[in-house]
Amino acid sequence: MLRLLSEKDRKIIEEYIKRYPFETTFIQGNIANFSIENKKDIRRCGDYYGYFKNGRLVGIIPFYNLGSSTPHYEDEECIEAFSELILKYNVEFLLGMKKVILPLYTKIKDAKKIKFCDEDSFQINEELKPYENSKVKIIDFYEIPLEEAAAFAVEASKKGFDMKVSIEEKIKTFKERSKEEDYIFAVYDDEIIGQAYIQVSTDLVNQIGGVYTKEEYRNNGVCKAMVSELCKRIIKRGKKPVLMVKKYNTPALRAYEKLGFIHYDDYMMVRFEL
């Protein structure tokens, strides 16, 4: 049985996601920092659906207001119901562990226009090998004017991730960040040249994302320095750093390996045409 979840279901949702600490990071972080009820003005809120079998929750699929979905299930019976929901909602991004996403993608790929489908490596750092770059200064987003921070974030979204967002939307995401969701910039000669941030925080992990360096400054250890800085902060909190990296991004894979990251599982991201 499929039904919309609410705050009344928080306990059973938390019991479910505790069984999958790395596989459900987005769900964990978003329900911890925001409501399970959908507050339309908050981008990281959304509609949460649960699939129940014999009265037991066996799968969760959220549809966030920002246009993404990060489902997880432990019973294949969920696939049909979740696929129908994905077709119903105006979802731009479908992402999660490959073993979860691939069956859903197979079901819906002929019914929705696909912009791209990427396979990533979900990685965990159990033993950090820190790195510092004396040529760049690492600062937090709140150390500079908010519009300046947002302007670079807009550039990074467009050039690094092919995503068009407005300065107003970026300012809103800065304001919605939780205490542990650091957003840092790399500065060289008074110019912002890179960014990285914590996408989501849970009781166990902080997930790093949005790593971007301006093209003319790449291959100089900027990305490595930013990720290392975030890792140090995460470990200081007693948590594990995790991230996703595209399997074909050889420079990033090498940089993260040198920092101590290891492959945990295959990850998959599907982007649909809207």
Q: Residue 215: give its domain's CATH number.
A: 3.40.630.30
Give the pLDDT confidence score for residue 27 in this predicted structure.
97
* Domain termination site, one of 73, 91, 112: 112
Helix (H, G, I), strand (E, B) or coil at 127: coil
Residue 117 maps to a domain = no
* Domain termination site, one of 68, 91, 112: 112
Q: Are residues 108 and 207 in the same domain?
A: no
Give the torsion through C-alpha atoms of 38, 39, 44, 49, to 10 deg.
Answer: 0
Residue 61 maps to a domain = yes
Q: Are residues 137 and 261 in the same domain?
A: yes
∠ CA(98), CA(17), CA(114), 5° rounding? 30
Q: Are residues 75 and 168 in the same domain?
A: no
Q: Are residues 147 and 101 in the same domain?
A: no
pLDDT at 110 over 90: yes
Q: In whole angstroms, what is the distance from residue 65 CA to residue 43 CA?
A: 5
Residue 141 maps to a domain = yes
* Domain termination site, one of 82, 112, 142: 112
- How many percent of the chain have pLDDT more than 70? 100
Residue 19 maps to a domain = yes
Radius of gyration of the CA atoms of the chain, in A: 19
Give the pLDDT confidence score for residue 168 in this predicted structure.
94
Helix (H, G, I), strand (E, B) or coil at 185: strand
Q: Are residues 168 and 189 in the same domain?
A: yes
Give the pLDDT confidence score for residue 171 in this predicted structure.
93
- Give the tokens for residue 87: 């077709």
Nearest to 40 by CA among 67, 70, 59: 67
pLDDT tens digits for 23-66? 999 999 999 999 999 999 999 999 999 999 999 999 999 999 99
Give the pLDDT confidence score for residue 142 in this predicted structure.
95
Q: In whole angstroms, what is the distance from residue 194 CA to residue 226 CA?
A: 8
Residue 199 maps to a domain = yes
In which domain, by residue range, is 248 found? 125-266
Give the pLDDT confidence score for residue 269 in this predicted structure.
97
Q: Are residues 56 and 175 in the same domain?
A: no
* DSSP H or E segment with residue 4: strand 2-4
Q: In whole angstroms, what is the distance from residue 160 CA to residue 211 CA?
A: 8
Q: Give the mean model confidence (pLDDT) for residues 107-133.
A: 95
Residue 132 maps to a domain = yes
Give the pLDDT confidence score for residue 100 in this predicted structure.
98
Helix (H, G, I), strand (E, B) or coil at 49: strand
Q: Are residues 101 and 192 in the same domain?
A: no
Give the pLDDT confidence score for residue 131 in this predicted structure.
97
Q: Are residues 171 and 259 in the same domain?
A: yes
Q: Are residues 241 and 194 in the same domain?
A: yes
pLDDT at 85 over 90: yes
Q: Are residues 130 and 107 in the same domain?
A: no
Residue 139 maps to a domain = yes
pLDDT tens digits for 201-260? 999 999 999 999 999 999 999 999 999 999 999 999 999 999 999 999 999 999 999 999
Residue-averaged pLDDT of the chain: 96
Q: Are residues 139 and 71 in the same domain?
A: no
pTM of the full structure: 0.92
Give the pLDDT confidence score for residue 58 in this predicted structure.
98
- Report residue 39: phi and psi, to 5°: -100, 105
Of the pLDDT bands very low, low, confident and very high (cuts 50, 70, 90), residue 195 is very high
Per the structure, the count of domains in the chain is 2
Give the pLDDT confidence score for residue 274 in this predicted structure.
85
Sequence-ordered alpha helix ranges (H) in 25-97: 25-33, 78-88
Within 8 A by CB and 6+ apart from 27, the residues are 13, 17, 48, 60, 62, 70, 72
Nearest to 25 by CA among 183, 206, 179, 261: 206
Within 8 A by CB and 6+ apart from 41, the residues are none
Residue 272 maps to a domain = no
Q: Are residues 220 and 253 in the same domain?
A: yes
